[in-house]
Chains A and B, each alone.
Chain A
Amino acid sequence: MNRILLAGVAGGALMAAATMPAAADGHATDLTLCWAAWDPANALIELSKDFEAASGHTMNFEFVPWPNFADRMLNELNSGGQLCDLMIGDSQWIGGGAENGHYVKLNDFFDANGITMDDFIPATVTGYAEWPKGTPNYYALPAFGDVVGWTYRKDWFERPELQAEFQSTYGRPLDVPATLEELRDIATFFQGRDIDGTTVYGAAIYTERGSEGITMGVTNALYNYGFLYEDPDQPYVLDGFVNSAGAVAGLEFYKSLYDAGTPPGSSNWYMGENIDAYKSGQVALQMNFAFIWPGVEADPNVGGGKSGYFPNPAGPAGQFAQLGGQGISVVSYSDKQDAALEYIQWFAQPEIQAKWWELGGYSALKAVVEDPGFATSQPYAQTFLDSMAIVKDFWAEPAYADLLIAMQDRMHAYVIAGEGTAQEALDKLVEDWTEVFEDEGKL
């Protein structure tokens, strides 16, 4: 028995030595990976133990809560800091990361190690890795696929008395909404309702002011009503696209959803607040990124079949959802780039990606998500696939922060504070964004 065990260990060691050059060289390095502080980060710590065992390197982690993540990490990159060797930066940072020289270009490394972007979900390659968009210049490996979707209280939806009341009120069954209008009806239906002696509300949606919250929420309505970031034929031409009639209707829809179907006091809510509201039984619906779904399933109050999941419903102009997620990049200021590239090489392996999904990380590797068993592997897996097929992302320009802050200001002022009209808010957004692009020399 001992001999078999010994042989197994020796075989494992040989395999590790063969795949991990650093282990063979014996150059053990302390690597620091920077990311947001959230559930997937804990899963990555678990996953990375395999890398430590195989490579001999030690992994350290610098996780920052989402509201401060961009501030903290962009400060680090802009100052040329060496805290992070690997950065799982937000998708919108890719332009700045590439143009300002923060990220190492990975094309040669990918070619040398047989890593091809054809193996990853196309939307994640465009969203997380490419700059300029649509060109084969890669500055990251898609690391965590994410998208805004909806979670709902299936157990409430299935109650006969609620079904009957909803049917008589709206003339259709209480079920997963096919359109945003239907979603608003459901939110309104649950607003202020007494369920098991507790007053509950319709939907927890993104309204946060300080970082990116309301933008990540309102875009799910804007896209589906016809909002476009620019003229598809003329880059950076915004007027008539950002503030089109459809975009105005989309913004008005989001405000009406906020006014009619959200909990009182939810004027500054983002991921964490929405999770809390949902898990504590305050709301029937929750808008949130897909990363929360494993946590919902595991929750004793709302998990275990009590919750269901659906992609962002369609609007008059189509069905789209806001892309989340991140790619993993090597920081150009790191003096441990070889070891960092080793990590990426290890992370890109199909078996590691499969384990990543098992631990709660959303792999973007086609081999994982196109596996016949994937869609049924978790209750939310099919919704994840459906949602990833309809994604759109915010600007990823180097000036994305200016663009984001302007949008946060204008959207919050209209949706939450009720200042002016939707048309005025979007017209002002066009002015703000135009000024940014003029400053950037792109107009």
Chain B
Amino acid sequence: MTTSPIDRVARATPAAAARRIRGLSDRTIAWIFVAPSIFLLLAVNIFPLIWTIRLSFTDFRVNRPNNDMEWVGLRNYQRILTDDDVWQTMQATAHFLIWTILLQVLIGFFLAFLINKKFRGNDLWTTIIVFPMMLSPAVVGNFWTFLYQPQIGLFNYVVAFFTGADPAGFSMIGDVHLAPWAIVIADTWMWTPFVMLICLAGLRSIPDSIYEAAECDRASKLRQFFTITMPMVLPFLMLAVLFRGIENFKMFDLVVQLTGGGPGNTTTLTSIDLKREAFEKWRTGYSSAYAVILFVTVFGLASIYVKALNKVKDR
């Protein structure tokens, strides 16, 4: 007769302990197992969220612990939503989000399509392409400042080589029109490989037999692309968009290193603005309201998006 490890553990359990455990229902045992996780979730996520919501209705400042905390109702929310500067940061964030996602999806999908073909050195190229996403965003931001340097920067020289412009004649991070694109380019360089990997997973999940059947039906390559490849990769693409959207909505380190939010407020994204309010101005109540607004925005948009994603998957 063979005995399983569970049987052995059961036999080794002291009789007194075994009696106590036998007295517990499955539901109780389940609760015992999940309780630590629930406690951690409450302590680390839920409680701070509730506390933040509470603080958002006050004028609390964490650097003035001796001051009385006053209840200000919706004043913080009203100030934020009627502040032109906040809306400007929202616009900067929207510009950054839309263009990074668009470029990363297009280039990432294109790269994945190429890498999916069998050719010599395929693995090596895949490794080289994914290299940027292995770097720290702060490091990427830092060295792109050098690439964008008008006098010594490689980027300016490459642009000058192709356009004939004076490399010292334009400053990617100092010009109000170019700076928003400077952060888009750096982020696209860094995170396109991530989108590519997800697309690659999607492409490789398509069985060859579907393409073979299409070939038998004499479907053109273009037709195969739009009726097989795209629909089957779409859920993966949408997942990549979700990940990049959430990540870029809270983008901070790369942009701070690259432009510091400038020139002026041109590249001040909401996360940078929020950090300034919370940890430089120490307006804790105000910044809590700001954080709640951003949370609701991201949560709302993400929920709508996930529903759409599920519909696509169910098709």
Residues of chain A touching chain B, judged by Cβ–Cβ distance below 8 Å, are 70-71, 74-75, 78, 96, 100-101, 199, 208-210, 263-268, 282, 398, 401-402, 405, 409, 412-414, 416-419, 439
Q: Roughly how many angstroms separate A416 CA and B259 CA in the complex, as a whole number?
A: 12
B281 at interface, CB cutoff 8 A: yes
Selected contact of B283 from candidates A75, A199, A398, A402, CB within 8 Å: A402
Closest residue of chain B to A413 (Cβ to Cβ) is B264
Q: Roughly how many angstroms separate A101 CA and B151 CA in the complex, as a whole number?
A: 48
Chain B residues near A100: list those with CB within 8 A. Answer: 63-66
Question: Are B63 and A405 in contact, with the CB atoms below 8 A?
Answer: no
| With A210-B256, A405-B281 as contacts: A416 and B64 at CB distance below 8 Å | no
14 A-B contacts, Cβ less than 8 Å apart? A70-B280, A100-B64, A100-B65, A209-B260, A264-B151, A265-B153, A265-B171, A267-B171, A267-B173, A267-B175, A268-B173, A268-B260, A412-B265, A417-B263
CB distance from B147 to the nearest CB of A (A): 11
Selected contact of B262 from candidates A71, A78, A199, A412, CB within 8 Å: A412
Chain A residues near B265: list those with CB within 8 A. Answer: 409, 412-413, 417
| With A96-B63, A268-B173, A417-B176 as contacts: A75 and B148 at CB distance below 8 Å | no
Chain B residues near A263: list those with CB within 8 A. Answer: 150-151
Most buried by B among A199, A263, A265, A409: A265
Question: Are A401 and B280 in contact, with the CB atoms below 8 A?
Answer: yes
B54 at interface, CB cutoff 8 A: no
Chain A residues near B176: list those with CB within 8 A. Answer: 416-419
Q: Roughly how many angstroms separate A402 CA and B259 CA in the complex, as a whole number?
A: 21
B193 at interface, CB cutoff 8 A: no
Question: Are B264 and A266 in contact, with the CB atoms below 8 A?
Answer: no
Contact with A along B245-289 (1 / 0, CB 8 A): 000000000001001111111100000000010011111000000
- Chain B interface bracket (under 10, 10 to 19, 20 to 34, 35 or more): 35 or more
Q: Roughly how many angstroms separate A306 CA and B280 CA in the complex, as a whole number?
A: 40
Chain A residues near B259: list those with CB within 8 A. Answer: 209, 268
B188 at interface, CB cutoff 8 A: no
| With A71-B280, A78-B282 as contacts: A416 and B263 at CB distance below 8 Å | yes
Chain B residues near A417: list those with CB within 8 A. Answer: 176, 262-266
Q: Roughly how many angstroms separate A367 CA and B169 CA in the complex, as a whole number?
A: 51
Chain A residues near B279: list those with CB within 8 A. Answer: 71, 75
CB distance from B150 to the nearest CB of A (A): 4
B104 at interface, CB cutoff 8 A: no
Closest residue of chain A to B171 (Cβ to Cβ) is A265
Chain B residues near A409: list those with CB within 8 A. Answer: 85, 264-265
Q: Roughly how many angstroms separate A425 CA and B3 CA in the complex, as a whole number?
A: 81
Closest residue of chain A to B85 (Cβ to Cβ) is A409
CB distance from A429 to the nearest CB of B (A): 13
CB distance from B249 to the nearest CB of A (A): 21
Chain A residues near B261: list those with CB within 8 A. Answer: 209-210
